[in-house]
Structure formats: structure tokens, C-alpha cells
Structure 1
């Protein structure tokens, strides 16, 4: 299911949206507008921050494709080239002595016209403005693959607060195979966000660039399976047995080694898994970090949770699932890394 796209400025049309095509020398990525103008972005920010951030507080965990049936594969994933790595950027420490956090929640309005959220992570980039999450937390895979409406990122979100600002998405950079044919080997997206804003007395105030404020995780690709990773996200949903170990209010973590998987109900050729007790709702978009340091709170992004699975049949989820990050994922990341956004305040 791997193809190469040479986009020549033609409309490739997610229903109801306009694609900003990749230049002719690029291979497999597309850029899709979210809030492409400053006035549109200001309206999005006001939607989430007005009325005491009521829409942020009322948002619920996104419940699309939270569970998949899978098992450990018998063969290792084969990299498509050399291993690569981009170093992370450690975030500043606040005046109160609290470290900033690259993790947070991405909020959007679904096709049910209700506010929802997934997990998102700030990633280092040229313009310090990239958020990584699951592709289906940016695109509506249920009805035509349009982009989800009013997309924003809030690092360190907690009960309506935006401690490091709210960041409106300007454009999403995705792999063409996910965009065009919902290939779940490519279920990831890198979103360029405008500078952060706070909201007071109906006035938006600029809070600066995302990675300048909170730091950014690095990025790595073509790693061998069996690499140890730490998983960070905001799981919230129940297990099949009805237990609900997480609330979605606090950042949770787990650790394990990656392994190849086979899935029976998603179109994916080489997904990978990691032992993790996270439930699906809320943890979609969780970051898998290679060489994570608890002192600096950064590592290198090596996977993104797109679903969870109960592989041993005990009615509790035990595995998180991600696309394998190969060289084509690096191409998409590089495209996003080189896109500038600016301020909306």
C-alpha cells in the first residue's frame, strides 16, 4: 500500500477542503489547510477560549478507532533505509519552578458537531511549531476524510486552563496514502500551529512559539523493532471488562519494547506494538519516545498510538499500536518542519 505521489499543483480534494500540494520534487506528502488565515484562526481561538473555556471543558475523548484486534507478528519490521534521528529541544522551567510539558491535548469539533480531544505532542522543528498526533485525530475517517474542524493544541491542559497558551492549527501535513486511501500504516499527522495565545476581556494576547515555550521532542525513524520506548498520553476510556483505570485528566506513562504486529481489522502492512495498559479513548495520538530522559523530559518520537488491543483475551487492553516510522514518515516530518506559520494576536 505504499505509493509515491508527485503533486503538480492539482486539487486532490478531501471532500470540502483544498489541498496545498507538495512541490514537484517531493514524494509522498500532502498539506491540507486547517485555519489558513489569521481571521479564521482568531475565530477558532475564541471558540475554545470564550465563556471561560466552556468548549474545552465540555470536550470528550475521541472515540473513533480506539480498539483493534491484533496479535504479535512472527517477523520483524524491515527498515526501508538508514536509521535517522533529530535531537529534541528541552523546554524552559517556569518562574514557579515547574517544568514545561511538550504533551497536551488536541481539540477539534467532530462531524457530530461536538467538541472532542486526543493526545498531542510538541516536536522540534525549524520553525518550532509542529504538533504530532494520530492521523485520524486530524482527518475525519468516518465520512470522506475531510479535516476535523476548529483544530487546536493545548500543552499541559487541565480543566479549562491553558498554562502555556492555546495553539491554533494552520495546516496538517500527512502521508498521501492515509489521506487518499486510509492506509493505517500512515495514520499519523504533523500539524503546524500558529504562535500561542491567551484570552482575556475578549482580547487575544500572543504567548510565543510552541517549542520556545514548552520544548519539543526529537524524531527518529527506521529503528529496529525491540527498541525500548516510553509512551505518554491521556487515556480515559474503560477496559472491555468495565474497569476504568484512567480519568483522562492527568498525563500517564508506560514503558516497553516495540514488536511487529498483525491486525485483523485495519488495513496496515507493518504496524508495531508496545506493551501498555492504556485504554483507547483519550490515548489516541500518544507519543512513543526513544531514549527518553526523565531529567530533561525529552526523547525522540518513534511512534504514535492509533489504537489499542487486548492481545491475551483477558478483557483488559495490554498493547498500544502505532505505524512503523520509516523513511517516508521522515519525509512527511521534514515537510512539516519547513513550514512557517506566524502569530494571530
Structure 2
């Protein structure tokens, strides 16, 4: 499988800080509507991704001035968890370290982080990925430290709820950041199209056909029931790779993904406010 990334690595694993941080609690489960209502219509299907305003909760993994993968905030009790692809943060037996998440990143040259940056405190990848880089577990959940003002990322940019039991055939909106050689303005791209299971792939792997998801878009959230930036829907998986520049794949979140998410959501982190 071709993966949409070049990688930047440090030889030392990300370390989890030892003390817990008090933070507002967030709901990790949807609240039922008071009464049934008709579902709003989302965007029409596309065959090519287009530059867009993106989502505040979607951004890049940033190492100094360089970014290499996409990630997004997922709703969690403490408001400090993001999802990305496993190959973005663990490869060849080594964890990435010393990097941050920059939601809403954009702009030419070095780009800018209009909502700030959050340092990654801990990485959760599946044992099957860590041991064998099993394609069916190419997802990861990262725990973020509060920013310099003591804020959790979800309080600043919002989040999409994770879906742990999605069916394969869904209309999805995928938002990601190609690397600068294909995207010198560092603008997010968006494509809405129909996901489906490929009979030649493992059971939980789904694919889309949409041009434009170049290197850098690994980790992009696949959002089902997306309507608009204020109603982003639910994350059913993240972009993991693809055999061509038109085809992209994701692994549907399930019980194994949820177990990683639960670990990420309960990592103790210290406040960096001063």
C-alpha cells in the first residue's frame, strides 16, 4: 500500500507528563435530540478535492517549520485528543517525538497557526501496528498538553464525535493538507464522495475515489453526515493510504480503535500555563 507521507522522526519516544491537569469535561457521547428532525443535506459528491476553508478542528502535525500529516480533534472528556494515521507517528519501530498539532493551519511559506499549537504528550497505536505495521490498524490517537494559556484544544476549535460502528457504505467528507510541493499556500482541501468496501481489501477497510489527496493527507478525518463546518458529523476513520493518486483508503473505527481512544483520553498531562 502506498502511504501519503514523507516522515520526520526523532529517536526518542514521546513521553507522558506525570501530573493530571484540571480541565472542563466534554461529552464523548452524542446527546439525543428532544424530538425527531429531518437530517440536513450535506455537500454534493465530487470527483476531485478542492481547496477550501477547512475546519477549525482539522490541522497538521508540525515539527518546527515542517508539517507532514493531517490530524483532527475528536470529542473526548478532557478535550485533548486528536486522531491521525499510525504511520504518521510510529514507523520502523520508532515513535515520532517533539512535535505539535496546529489546527486550522494555512498560509504560504512557513504557514501560520491561527488558533495556536498544542504539544503532543502521548501516542497510542495498536499493538498489531507496532509489531507488524498491520494495514487494518493504521490509526492513532494522540493526547495533547494544554497550550501556554492552559486551554484544551477542543475548547478552542471544537471537535467531531467518533463513530465506532460505522457501516462501510457512507457518504463522507474528507479534509486534509497536502504537503507544500502540491500545496504551496498550505490550504486544506476537501472532497465529499461515497465510501465503499473493496472486496479485495480486509473487511473494515473502505475506499474512496477522489483526486488530490497527495502526500501529507494521511490522517485526514473521514466525516460521515457532514453538513457544514458548524455541523461536521462523525469521524468514522482516517485516511491511511491508497494505491493511486485517485484512490484513498481508511480503516473503519471499531472496538480496537475505541480502546486506543480510551487510553488517549485518560493520559494524565500537566498544565503548561504560566
TM over 0.5: yes
How far does the alpha carbon of each residue in 1:293-337 deviate from its partner, in whole angstroms, 9 at most, with x for none? Answer: 205142211111111333xxxxxx222111222222122222222
Counterpart Cα distance in 2 of 1:236 and 1:167: 20
Q: Indicate the residue corresponding to 2:265 in structure 1.
A: 337
Counterpart Cα distance in 1 of 2:187 and 2:156: 20
CA shift, 1:256, in A, is 1.5
Q: Indicate the residue corresponding to 2:35 in structure 1.
A: none
Instruction: Check 1:87–1:341 CA distance in 2 against 1; reply closer, same or farther (3 A cut).
Output: farther
Q: Indicate the residue corresponding to 2:4 in structure 1.
A: none
CA shift, 1:340, in A, is 3.4
Secondary structure at the counterpart of residue 94 of structure 2: coil
Secondary structure at the counterpart of residue 185 of structure 1: helix
Q: Does 1:323 align with 2:251?
A: yes
Instruction: Check 1:222–1:147 CA distance in 2 against 1; reply closer, same or farther (3 A cut).
Output: same
Matches within 5 A, 1:231-242: 231-236=174-179
Q: Indicate the residue corresponding to 1:298 in structure 2.
A: 232
Counterpart Cα distance in 2 of 1:296 and 1:284: 23
Counterpart Cα distance in 1 of 2:106 and 2:70: 13
Tell me, yes or no, if the aligned pair for 2:54 and 2:189 is still in contact at 8 Å: no
Q: Indicate the residue corresponding to 2:103 in structure 1.
A: 155
CA shift, 1:16, in A, is 6.5
Tell me, yes or no, if the aligned pair for 1:232 and 1:287 is still in contact at 8 Å: yes
Secondary structure at the counterpart of residue 259 of structure 1: strand
Where does structure 1 lack aligned partners over 5 or more consecutive residues? 1-14, 18-32, 39-84, 89-97, 198-205, 239-243, 311-316
Q: Indicate the residue corresponding to 2:192 in structure 1.
A: 255
Instruction: Check 1:274–1:247 CA distance in 2 against 1; reply closer, same or farther (3 A cut).
Output: farther
Where does structure 2 lack aligned partners over 5 or more consecutive residues? 1-9, 19-27, 32-52
Q: Does 1:104 align with 2:104?
A: no
Secondary structure at the counterpart of residue 95 of structure 2: coil
Instruction: Check 1:99–1:278 CA distance in 2 against 1; reply closer, same or farther (3 A cut).
Output: closer
Tell me, yes or no, if the aligned pair for 1:219 and 1:301 is still in contact at 8 Å: yes
Counterpart Cα distance in 1 of 2:265 and 2:200: 31
Moved over 4 A (4+): none
Q: Does 1:219 align with 2:153?
A: no
How far does the alpha carbon of each residue in 1:63-117 deviate from its partner, in whole angstroms, 9 at most, with x for none? Answer: xxxxxxxxxxxxxxxxxxxxxx9439xxxxxxxxx997001111248xxxx9442
Q: Indicate the residue corresponding to 1:170 in structure 2.
A: 121
CA shift, 1:284, in A, is 0.9
Counterpart Cα distance in 1 of 2:254 and 2:112: 36
- TM-score w.r.t. length of structure 1: 0.60
How far does the alpha carbon of each residue in 1:97-141 deviate from its partner, in whole angstroms, 9 at most, with x for none? Answer: x997001111248xxxx94421110111011000111111111x2
Equivalent pairs, count: 231
Q: Which has the larger radius of gyration?
A: 1
Instruction: Check 1:331–1:36 CA distance in 2 against 1; reply closer, same or farther (3 A cut).
Output: closer
CA shift, 1:222, in A, is 2.2
